[in-house]
Structure 1
Amino acid sequence: MNNKYQWIDDFIAGLFELYKTLNIYELYDELCITIKKLPKENILFQGNEALYYRNYDGMEIVFIRNDLDIHYEKFVLAHELAHAIIHVDIYNAAFNKNLINIGKLDKQANYFALKLLNINLFDKDFEDLTIEQIARALYLPKKWLLNILE
């Protein structure tokens, strides 16, 4: 997976070089992307944890559920940040034409989130654990980890 996503590793290294932080909240501030927490029942979510808008009333914004565990919240914010900064051209060019491979973009965003948050799924601490146990240890849904590993 590393070779396939080396460009994402390089992108994250560039973020750190530019902003001197990989703290998800500080990156949102530096990039002027607003985080707005809403109740999970909000119609915007439609079963999702968060939603990124490139231009919502003139600003970039991520709406995120207000009931997420802090570890999961950081992962979701990192995932949405990936869409905001590494998928700019893809969203701009293809959004209106339904040409987006959502699965591929989500896999890239999940990988970005893991790397940004310095989560290593192949750490020796996870060596003898099942995917369910790893997901619980990281406060992440199993489906997100499976998405990255497939």
Structure 2
Amino acid sequence: MYAWIDNIILGIKDNDNYTNVYELYDYLEIEIVKLMPTNILLRGNDSFYYRDLNDKEIVFIRNDLNDTMEKFILLHELAHALLHTHIYEAAFNKNFINKDKIEKQANYFAFKMLNINLDKIELEGMTIEQISTYIGIPYNLLSNLLT
């Protein structure tokens, strides 16, 4: 279903410039701006990606996230930057955007880029809530990815 995303991930990981999410952002010249969670720009969200602010690509992200969550969110926003260029060009006509679909794609990309391997035997009998706590990814993001 997401083989095309897997191919993009393989291309990124085959590139010598990829060692972590922060170096990838530097390489792609996408700026990361950390904001207080109450900042009005975040509109109550953890982050958002802006394609063209004074000819720059920027991700605004909360400054109070733990390391795993921050990396996951940065990779999620990077997915929008790399996978959904056509959507952001048509962002003002939201009637034609399947938001659930693009969010699942972005979550899938982030999950795969973090190399989180779920051992079925180790996780057997766990609920999605327990798995989300175990791997450090919030329930709503993991649930969105698995449903």
Report the TM range for the smaller structure's normalisation: over 0.9
Classify the secondary structure of the residue corresponding to 2:32: strand
User: Equivalent pairs: percent with the same residue?
Assistant: 51
Q: Distance in 1 between matches of 2:31 and 2:120?
A: 33
Question: Alpha carbons of 1:108 and 1:22: their partners in 2 closer, same or farther (altered >3 Å)?
Answer: farther
2:70 aligned to which of 70, 73, 78: 73
Question: What RMSD over aligned residues (CA atoms) do the two structures have, in Å?
Answer: 1.4
Are the equivalent residues in 1 in contact too, given 2:17–2:27 (CA < 8 A)?
Answer: no
TM-aligned CA deviation for residue 137 of structure 1: 1.4
Runs of 4+ in structure 1 deviating by more than 6 angstroms, as ranges, are none
Aligned residue number for residue 40 of structure 2: 43
**Alignment partner of 1:135 is 2:132:** yes
In the alignment, which residue of structure 2 is the partner of 1:100? 97
Q: TM-score, normalised by structure 1?
A: 0.91
Matches within 5 A, 1:1-80: 4-80=1-77
Select the residue among 83, 94, 97 that pairs with 1:86. 83
Paired residue type of 2:100: G
CA distance in 2, matches of 1:32, 1:58: 11
In structure 2, what is the Cα distance between the partners aligned to 1:105 and 1:122?
26
In structure 1, runs of 5+ residues without a counterpart are none
In 1, Cα distance between equivalents of 2:31 and 2:144: 27
Aligned to 2:40, the other structure's residue is in SS state coil
Partner of 2:116 in structure 1? 119
TM-score by length of 2: 0.92
Task: Mark the CA change 1:29 to 1:123 in structure 2 (over 3 Å): closer, same or farther.
Answer: farther
User: Aligned partners of 1:19 and 1:59: how far apart in 2?
Assistant: 24
